[in-house]
Amino acid sequence: MNSNIKIIKINSEISSIILNEPKTYNSLSFKNLNDLLKALKKLDADTKVKVIIIEGAGKGFSAGHNLKEVKRLKKKDKYQKLFNLCSKVMLQIVEGRKPVIAKVHGAAFAAGCQLVASCDLAFSTKEAFFATPGVNIGLFCSTPMVAVSRKINRKPMMKMLLTGEPIKANYAKEIGLINDYFSKQKLKKEVLKIAKKIASKSNLTIKIGKQTFYKQLEMPLRKAYAHTSKMMTVNMMAMDAKEGISAFLEKRRPVWKNK
Amino acid sequence: MNSNIKIIKINSEISSIILNEPKTYNSLSFKNLNDLLKALKKLDADTKVKVIIIEGAGKGFSAGHNLKEVKRLKKKDKYQKLFNLCSKVMLQIVEGRKPVIAKVHGAAFAAGCQLVASCDLAFSTKEAFFATPGVNIGLFCSTPMVAVSRKINRKPMMKMLLTGEPIKANYAKEIGLINDYFSKQKLKKEVLKIAKKIASKSNLTIKIGKQTFYKQLEMPLRKAYAHTSKMMTVNMMAMDAKEGISAFLEKRRPVWKNK
Amino acid sequence: MNSNIKIIKINSEISSIILNEPKTYNSLSFKNLNDLLKALKKLDADTKVKVIIIEGAGKGFSAGHNLKEVKRLKKKDKYQKLFNLCSKVMLQIVEGRKPVIAKVHGAAFAAGCQLVASCDLAFSTKEAFFATPGVNIGLFCSTPMVAVSRKINRKPMMKMLLTGEPIKANYAKEIGLINDYFSKQKLKKEVLKIAKKIASKSNLTIKIGKQTFYKQLEMPLRKAYAHTSKMMTVNMMAMDAKEGISAFLEKRRPVWKNK
């Protein structure tokens, strides 16, 4: 397969998906979105993988849709297909079993910014920047804003959408679009440290937790408590919770069965 | 018409609505709310206007409802009418086609603070302050909190509501109630700069984007993606997106048809 | 009654609930949750009490569930009961009539962090810290995240949940989990100052406001305005709003009937 989406195995538990088409700034073309969706599904199904990292090759993280391709598509049903596919990728990240971390070393624009927002965690270099610039080309960032507006408050979101202007890493952290930023030299090491920490937890616990998290967010308070109480009971009846609590009380490291 | 609500045409694309009853601190009385609603509808329907600014004359931005009037109303159905009318004004801002910017040079209290929160963007002087002080007069800021609690997080909102204390511009920015603040000398220039930037975009693109933005916020994630994918396809089939993308690829300025 | 939950009357209008089982770091065991629920209901029904403070005795605020007890429970229906009871306590705080303030002088972990998040306001010492560390023992903080994720944005929430790491008071303030933090010496005085300020308002006004606040948050915008306009009219027809507005116009202190 001749793909611009590469999977790099960092260790037995952590894998990185590389957006690797630097000449288009890792654009999210039909082909790349399809391959990204496949890569995400593959790693999500791999029982050994515990954490997924997404990063870009070359100068930027991702410039979003490929505008040359977009221009060529012309027909309404093709556009609908493209935006549906892009939404599918983002939903796979949110609804998948494994934590996904965005590692951003350069520009994350439009659907690229959406990708960062869709990940559970995001870290960047100090020099990285983020934008929803669709308004500049007459095409409002309507699907990207679904992800971004669920992470940051509305006034800063509207400024990004209406002006199309990029924001810097320190402001992106301030408003909650990314978790933190580091110097170029340190980003790799810091992301790996966090990925390893998360990989040291129980697979099953994190699967239950992640999926419950996004579900309860869409429920009113009473329903959210009913749902999470039920899921926490399910979690409690699993081997890993029993082992984790025993280990804690016995002051030793837990040994996860990951099931 | 003898109105306290004035429309000032800044240029062919930008208009400012002035709340101009300084002796009541630009109170949102029945009459003023009615005139404000009319002004908003008029500018929203004017195909040449691309950006609306709201500002106050005299010392403050707006002190909210006119308490002398409120006292006089006395009857339940009159109160209901007043609060309904006020809500209608706020909904007009949110559901309208054009971006609305609050330009705040002084106190924005109660329904005045709600007006700031309801605008898509808000900028203030360093000296401006914001409050939901209804609790001090026994009348909780229940309608204002609808707008404010959708822009800022809940703990700072509750502190404002329960203590009635004003917050300063720098804290208002920190929590997301306003986008930014400037010195008194610079506010006008900075707001105009942003208004001009937004006015340089396609009218149609912004109309689709703004209306889609507030709709998708009230949907669960999957429904939000279905809706925005559809709206982005509609946007893509319009002249301005085609022109915008062509201009981008040809490295020239786009010429909007605004339709 | 031999209870670890003590009610201290600070003055005729302010009462403090002390979590007082330092040897378990004020764990939220079955017994303690039951007693906490009773204490909250008692103070909520006491017409003289206007503000409730929750604090912890000994080294920390609360470590969450009692893990020794959790280990002993073993059966599914007992876990379900425990998590249901805990949710009931949190819902009592949110749905009650009186403002509840968390006063945090040390660690607030898991359900202890949930308790802080559930309160209307929260203040801590500079040294206090907050965590949702369930992932470390294989039991994801699924019910705690219901409360915390409704106060802070999603990316910082996910970092807390996936890594289990504690955050410090200054960061907790930055993201909106607490309102503010003070030096150890000042916390008591500052919390009391705010409690007294809130106690100086009308009981009835605050009851209407608090209950309306959490309800409207779960409604779409138009419905939220319809509901709050109705509640504000109810509020306006009460004695305290009439008195409050008269006092304001006459430049005197209002005398609340609290009904």
Smallest Cβ–Cβ distance between A249 and the set C68, C76, C134 belongs to: C68
A259 assigned to some structural domain: no
Question: Which residues of A fall within a CB distance of 8 Å from B224?
Answer: 146
Residues A181 and A55 in one domain: yes
Residues C131 and C237 in one domain: no
pTM: 0.97
End residue of a domain, out of A184, A199, A214: A199
- Residues within 8 A of C (CB atoms), B 35-64 only: none
B254 assigned to some structural domain: no
Q: Which of C150, C205, C223, C257 best tests the B interface by mutation, with the highest count of B CBs <10 A? A: C205
Residues B209 and B193 in one domain: no
Domain extent for C88? 5-199
- How sure is the predictor about C1, in pLDDT bands with cuts at 50, 70 and 90? low
Residue B53 pairs in a beta bridge with B16, B101
The residue among A155, A79, A64, A70 whose CA lies nearest residue A116 is A64
C259 assigned to some structural domain: no
For a pLDDT cut of 70, what percent of chain B falls above it? 99
- Residues within 8 A of B (CB atoms), A 117-146 only: 134-143, 145-146
Contact, C92 vs C33, CB < 8 A? no
Q: Does B254 touch chain A (CB under 8 A)?
A: yes
pLDDT at B243 over 90: yes
Question: Which residues of C fall within a CB distance of 8 Å from A211?
Answer: none
CA distance A145 to chain B (A): 7
Smallest Cβ–Cβ distance between C179 and the set B137, B143, B155 belongs to: B155
The residue among A53, A12, A6, A30 whose CA lies nearest residue A189 is A53
The pLDDT tens digits for C210-219 are: 999 999 999 9
C254 assigned to some structural domain: no
Residues B225 and B188 in one domain: no
Residues B105 and B213 in one domain: no
The pLDDT tens digits for C126-160 are: 999 999 999 999 999 999 999 999 999 999 999 99
A110 assigned to some structural domain: yes
The pLDDT tens digits for B112-168 are: 999 999 999 999 999 999 999 999 999 999 999 999 999 999 999 999 999 999 999
Question: Three-state SS for B13?
Answer: coil
Q: For position C80, what pLDDT does the model report?
A: 97
Strands annotated E in chain B: 5-9, 14-19, 51-56, 100-104, 107-109, 121-125, 129-131, 167-168, 180-182
The pLDDT tens digits for C30-44 are: 999 999 999 999 999
Chain B: residue whose CA lies nearest to A174: B174
- How sure is the predictor about C2, in pLDDT bands with cuts at 50, 70 and 90? confident
The pLDDT tens digits for C98-134 are: 999 999 999 999 999 999 999 999 999 999 999 999 9
- Residues within 8 A of A (CB atoms), C 67-86 only: 67-68, 70-71, 76, 79-80, 83-84, 86
The pLDDT tens digits for B174-218 are: 999 999 999 999 999 999 999 999 999 999 999 999 999 999 999
Residue A130 pairs in a beta bridge with A108, A167
Residues C18 and C103 in one domain: yes
Q: For position C48, what pLDDT does the model report?
A: 95
Residues A180 and A167 in one domain: yes
Residues A213 and A86 in one domain: no
Q: For position B34, what pLDDT does the model report?
A: 98
Please tell me which chains touch B, using 3 or more CB pairs under 8 Å as the contact test.
Answer: A, C
Q: How many domains does chain C have?
A: 2
The pLDDT tens digits for B37-53 are: 999 999 999 999 999 99
Q: For position B2, what pLDDT does the model report?
A: 82
Residues A184 and A112 in one domain: yes
Residues B107 and B213 in one domain: no
C60 assigned to some structural domain: yes
Check which CATH number belongs to the domain holding A146 and give it: 3.90.226.10
Residues B19 and B92 in one domain: yes
Complex ipTM > 0.95:
yes
- How sure is the predictor about B1, in pLDDT bands with cuts at 50, 70 and 90? low
A153 assigned to some structural domain: yes
Smallest Cβ–Cβ distance between B87 and the set C225, C244, C247 belongs to: C225
B24 assigned to some structural domain: yes
Smallest Cβ–Cβ distance between B140 and the set C152, C177, C209 belongs to: C209
Spell B232-252 as b/e; 16+ CB within 10 A means b.
bbbbbebebbbbbbebbeeee
Check which CATH number belongs to the domain holding C212 and give it: 1.10.12
Smallest Cβ–Cβ distance between C143 and the set A178, A210, A225 belongs to: A225
Residues A195 and A214 in one domain: no
Which segments in chain A show pLDDT lower than 70?
1, 259
Question: Which residues of B fall within a CB distance of 8 Å from C99?
Answer: 158, 162
